[in-house]
Amino acid sequence: MSHTQALLSSVFGFSGFRPGQEEIVNSVSKGENVLAIMPTGGGKSLCFQLPALVRDGLTVVISPLIALMRDQVEALKAVGVEAGALTSGNTDEETDAVFEALSSGRLKLLYMAPERLSSGGTLTLLRRSNVTMIAVDEAHCVSQWGHDFRPDYLRIGELRRALDVPLCAFTATADEETRDEIVARLFDGEAPQTFLRGFDRPNIHLAFAVKDSPRAQILSFAKARKGQSGIVYCGTRAKTESLAKALNDSGQTALAYHGGMERDQRRDAERRFQQEDELIVVATVAFGMGIDKPDIRWVAHADLPKSVESYYQEIGRAGRDGAPAETLTLFGPDDMRFRRTQIDESPSPVERRAADHARLNALLGIAEAQVCRRQNLLSYFGEASEKCGTCDLCDTPPELFDGTEAVRKALSAILRCDEGFGAGHLIDVLMGKQTDKVKQWSHDTLSVFGIGKEYDKRHWNAIFRQMMGMDLVRPNPDRFGALFMTEPAVPILKGQANVTLRRDTLAKANRGGPVAKALVSDEDAPLLSALKAKRRSLSEEARVPAYVVFADRTLIEMAETRPQTLDDMARIGGVGAKKLEKYGDAFLSVILGSAPEKMHPSRRKLATRGSGDVFERLLEAQANQVRGACGTLKPMTLTSAQLSRIAATRPRDLKTFTGLVGPRHAERFGEIMLRVIHET
């Protein structure tokens, strides 16, 4: 028996490796740079813990969550391995014990959060601690395009170069793009030994459902699994608390868990979940990464996750022991609005937001899938598979119908409206609704106006949702969520390809739960999100609360009226002269998509006083009167300064006007300019 095999048995108590582990362990033990993508529950931690015991010196483990580090350190200590963690959650005694073990050379594994790498003393500490290997857990956190980006992960490459030691990186959620980014950022682009061990977890049953009394749906799912450990993920902190209470009231044992709780409360919840067999934790995504509880029998999502990676990682916490486990994910229109808004309000560059919308489309594609969900999930990660037989669509295939005509109508509306509008406006056009916006853009004159009256608004929303799930259309972050067609949509529009839709999704659209009232229409929501993102950026820069820049009601009015000039902006409620001068250009740039035209300081001052329109009309009146009403007199004009004074003071009679410009100019311009002032 080899030394590695002996340690596997004597320390960890395993008689053999799980599939895929042995090759990785051997490569890491030899000191090779390694990137390993393994399914959640596939035994990633053993692949760096065992080599750490085989090799001389100290292995530093970079890990993203305190709970993960604490659990692994306690598990290692329980089997006699010298391990410690330096985290913000340590007591003074725990930190002192780690430093003492380091100085005496006893420590084999040292866990730390990536944020600690920004501390000036960390590199000095590690240089004198005989570090011989770096292990990076949850390596996808290095991806700036990923769902769990942690900026301090970018420092790991610098640490590897400074210590000049091999590095092994592990993750369960990395598509090809993310894998390339990991190699570039952690290994300086030099290809490590790469092990792709697949993403399939065949013991986990996958199921999605359209929200229809979502609380009752979650309570029913949990009741059918009473006595089993489970996790319910929610989109907000408030929902974790209300749903945990509802579960307790129904006779279950449940705890809420979210980032707003005190550290001791979170620790107690984690401890109880590890120790109690029948406990349900209702949590935000703050819970679960690194929770090494093998017998979690089910995971439910009360709200749609934000990406396929998030979904895969969260359901992967069930069934780590290989025994059957179940999942349920609820989704509805509010989820899509919430997730799209999160993306649109992000300060990320346009390319990042576009990629995030595409990732959300991919998750929607799994939710709205027509055949085997596992096939759809694995294909996202680049794996092909047969129908699994262990998902709700394999259990009960949905009824499909030829939706080509409906989809072609929707695509035609997008094209006729110049790919410049969201689903809400497009549906109004298709249904022939004479809304203010339809009239404003003369879309009631288009050939597509009223061609979709066979479906109601909910049906059309469900059709557009399925189209996004097929990635036929995407929101354009450059045009505030306006839908544009992707390449696969073109042959459908041209009549060269057909498309099927799910009938059950359309049927459930009419009996879905109540839709939350939004601050603005779906059409204006992306612009409101962009304005809020700009407000947040300005408020953080000035270190003031967001409402000090502009109140919500002011941003709502901007989103609904879409001012095109500083003069338009001046008429928005809550935009005074000082704020217009300070913030006007910034918010106009968001609305216009580019910087507004430069304006002469005198003209700009008039805009801040609400007199800009008067100035423009006075200019126009002057142009018509330069040679007098007859058009034959000697040319005469007023200076910009004189026009500015007239616009600012707005004289009401000829005497006052004459005092501003003199009798000659008053004779030429007085009557027409006083009429302009009166009309405005």
Report the side by side order of strands in the sheet with 34-37. Answer: 83-86, 109-112, 58-62, 131-136, 167-171, 34-37, 193-196
The residues spanned by each domain of the chain are: 3-196, 204-395, 403-459+467-503, 528-598, 612-679
Strand-strand pairing, 167-171 and 279-283: unpaired
Say if residue 292's pLDDT is above 70. no
Helices (H) and strands (E) in the chain — how many of each?
32, 18
Contacts of 121 (CB under 8 A, 6+ apart): none
Question: Sorting pLDDT into bands at 50, 70 and 90, what band is 146?
Answer: low
| Fold match flag (3-196 vs 204-395) | yes
The Cα 355–Cα 636 span in angstroms is 58
Contacts of 299 (CB under 8 A, 6+ apart): 230, 231, 232, 233, 314, 315, 317, 318, 325, 327
Q: What's the whole-number mean pLDDT along residues 554-560?
A: 87
The string of pLDDT tens digits covering residues 393-431 is 999 999 999 999 999 999 999 999 999 888 989 999 999
Instruction: Answer yes or no: pTM beyond 0.95.
Output: no
The Cα 607–Cα 614 span in angstroms is 9
The Cα 437–Cα 425 span in angstroms is 8
Say if residue 46's pLDDT is above 50. yes
Contacts of 661 (CB under 8 A, 6+ apart): 638, 642, 646, 669
Say if residue 516's pLDDT is above 50. no
Q: What are the φ and ψ backbone dihedral angles of 143, each rounded to 5 degrees?
A: -80, 120
528-598 belongs to CATH 1.10.150.80: yes
Q: Collapsing DSSP states into helix, strand and coil, what is residue 374?
A: helix
CATH of 204-395, one of 3.30.479.10, 3.40.50.2300, 3.40.50.300, 1.10.3720.10: 3.40.50.300
Contact 107, 101 (CB under 8 A): yes
The Cα 561–Cα 547 span in angstroms is 20
Is residue 82 classed exposed, middle or buried when 0-12, 13-18 and 19+ CB atoms within 10 A define those classes?
middle
Angle made by CA atoms 520, 337, 233, in degrees to the nearest 5: 135
Which overall architecture, per CATH, does domain 403-459+467-503 show? Orthogonal Bundle (1.10)
Contact 365, 465 (CB under 8 A): no
CATH superfamily of 3-196: P-loop containing nucleotide triphosphate hydrolases (3.40.50.300)
Q: Which pLDDT score is estimated for 91?
A: 82
Question: Sorting pLDDT into bands at 50, 70 and 90, what band is 1?
Answer: low
Backbone torsion region of residue 281, taken as left when φ is above 0, otherwise alpha when ψ lies between -120 and 50, otherwise beta: beta
Say if residue 512's pLDDT is above 60. no
The Cα 102–Cα 45 span in angstroms is 21
Q: Residue 156 is which amino acid?
A: I
The Cα 226–Cα 251 span in angstroms is 9
Q: Which pLDDT score is estimated for 536?
A: 86
